Amino acid sequence: MQYPEPIAKLIASYMKLPGIGEKTATRLAFYTIGMDEDDVKDFSKALVAVKEDLHYCSICGNITEDDPCPICKDQGRDQTTIVVVENSRDVMAMERMNEYHGLYHVLHGTISPSEGTGPMDINIPSLIERLKKHSEVQEVIIATNASMDGETTAQYLAKLLKPAGIKVTRLAHGLSAGADIDYTDEVTLFKAVQGRTEM
């Protein structure tokens, strides 16, 4: 027996989310059917709002409602240090730590030869332009994940930035191999920032 078209479309939509297979998508679809109508409308409005109201900061690439984002606009932050991360979730993880008060740069991915992603396919060119315009930057902390692609990206950035006389460091202690920054607790992340090493 086939599901009515609205349910089939909802299941197919849920299956587009990462890690959601057909069984989970079906369970979510039927859960949605049982939800209060106002909750479903709020849910759909939230989905539309994240696509219509959010964009990337023209300076750092972080996701934001305003351009530039609140972090880039905040002159009280340390303008001499930039943490380079893979995605906006990593910025949120660093901010939860509440110990780092510098700036960020979001790459929106990593260099991945296996997937055909090179330096020009992620947000590296804008980082270079940013560093050229802002000579006050003294240190770039590379906070890509401890994965093969994260390491490849970190090594590439280190080789690219060191000749410019900028101190390049990498997050160290506390992050295990293969760990994702956005799933790391604040204490471990703080230790990793404290124990960063120069590349």
Please indicate, yes or no, whether residues 152 and 191 belong to a single structural domain of this protein.
yes
For residues 133 and 181, state if they share a domain.
yes
- Strands 167-170, 197-198: pairing kind: antiparallel
Q: Which tokens hold the place of 141? A: 């902390």
Query: What is the pTM for the complete model shown?
Result: 0.79
Are both 66 and 128 inside the same structural domain? yes
- Local confidence band at 10 (pLDDT 50, 70, 90 cut-offs): very high
pLDDT at 173 over 60: no
Sign of the CA dihedral with 92 first, then 94, 100, and 103 last: negative
- Of the candidates 149, 57, 66, which has an alpha carbon nearest to the alpha carbon of residue 103? 57
**What is the spatial distance between Cα 21 and Cα 105, in angstroms, rounded to a whole number?**
33
Quote the domain boundaries for residue 136.
57-198
Residue 45 pLDDT: 96
Asked if residue 128 and residue 180 are part of one domain, the reply reads yes
Same domain, residue pair 111 and 144: yes
Question: pLDDT band for position 147 (50/70/90)?
Answer: confident
What percentage of the chain carries pLDDT values higher than 90?
75
